[in-house]
A and B are shown apart, each in its own frame.
Chain A
Amino acid sequence: QLQVQESGPRLVKPSETLALTCTVSGGSIDTNSYYWGWIRQPPGGGLEWIGNIYHTGSTYYNPSLKSRVTIAIDASKIQFSLRLTSVTATDTAVYYCVREAAAGTAHWGQGILVTVSS
């Protein structure tokens, strides 16, 4: 059973960089047909797609975040990561790592609440 799990700092200061890692277990990360992505949800708000990455390294980003986002993959560690620079309070959210497929996004991490505050 494939599982994904987020990890990283839960508190980030304004203007600094948010960095999260997603660890994949129960399956391979370098499998065709799947994208590995990040989705966030501000407190009390809706879902916002951040971006995704294929095992080859090709990426797609939400245009509204593109200038600040980097998603990378480390197949040897079965991990992928999210970096979001120059954060502000509006970046406070629960961040989910996911596996995307043509059959929808069936695999979600439990989510990690990241608060941007000094």
Chain B
Amino acid sequence: EIVMTQSPATLSVSPGERATLSCRASQTVSRNLAWYQQKPGQAPRLLIYGSFTRATGIPARFSGSGSGTEFTLTISSLQSEDFAVYYCQQYNNWFRTFGQGTKVEIK
């Protein structure tokens, strides 16, 4: 099993500021890494796949980077609608695994 570890667990950010979320894999997943955003009562929404490619309709303020075992999701200027929980997921292995999530809250 590839264990995905996200940090921090909670990130307090003011609107307009930059947010940087990290995700680490216990073994290499190449670039087969996705990021999802989840708001209360909603299904997760795909933001990024292939480590850095934005999904359809995702604003340019969301960007992903990394390969191998270290990955980053950056939100360049937080908007009110961006406060949510973010999950990373590896799909390099047939057994897909998620990180435990990072909650981005208003500072």
Contacts from A to B (Cβ < 8 Å): 46-49, 52, 60, 62-63, 96, 100, 102-106, 108-111
Please name 24 pairs of A and B residues whose Cβ atoms are closer than 8 Å in the assembled complex, sorted by A: A46-B87, A46-B99, A47-B89, A47-B98, A49-B89, A49-B97, A62-B95, A63-B95, A96-B43, A96-B44, A103-B49, A103-B50, A103-B55, A104-B34, A104-B46, A104-B50, A104-B55, A104-B89, A105-B34, A105-B44, A106-B46, A108-B43, A110-B43, A111-B43
* A47 partner residues in chain B, CB cutoff 8 A: 36, 44, 87, 89, 98, 101
Interface check B81, CB cutoff 8 A: no
Interface residues as binary, B30-63 with A (CB distance below 8 Å gives 1, 0 otherwise): 0000101000000111101110010110000000
**When chains A and B are docked, how far (Å) is the Cα of A60 from the Cα of B91?**
12
> Does the CB pair B94–A48 fall under 8 Å?
no
Asked whether, in the complex, the Cβ of A49 is within 8 Å of the Cβ of B95, the reply is yes
Whether A46 pairs with B91 at a CB distance below 8 angstroms is no
Across the interface, name the chain A residue whose C-beta is closest to B43. A108
Closest residue on chain A to residue B93 by CB atoms: A60
Chain B residues whose C-beta falls within 8 Å of the C-beta of A96 in the assembled complex: 43-44
Number of interface residues of B (CB under 8 A): 24
Q: In the complex, A100→B34 CA distance in Å?
A: 11
Q: A46-B101, A104-B46, A108-B44 are in contact. List 14 more A-B contacts (CB 8 A).
A: A46-B98, A46-B100, A47-B44, A47-B87, A47-B89, A49-B89, A103-B55, A104-B48, A104-B49, A105-B34, A105-B44, A106-B56, A108-B45, A109-B43
Q: How many contacts A-B (CB < 8 Å)?
A: 54
Q: Is B18 an interface residue (CB 8 A)?
A: no
Which residues of chain A are within 8 angstroms of B96 by Cβ–Cβ distance? Answer: 49, 52, 100
B1 contacts A by Cβ under 8 Å: yes
Chain B residues near A (Cβ < 8 Å): 1, 34, 36, 43-46, 48-50, 53, 55-56, 87, 89, 91, 94-101
Indicate which residue in A52, A63, A103, A106 contacts B1 across the interface (CB closer than 8 Å): A63
Q: How far is the CA of A110 from the CA of B39 in the complex (A)?
A: 12
- Chain B residues in 8 Å Cβ range of A104: 34, 46, 48-50, 55, 89, 91
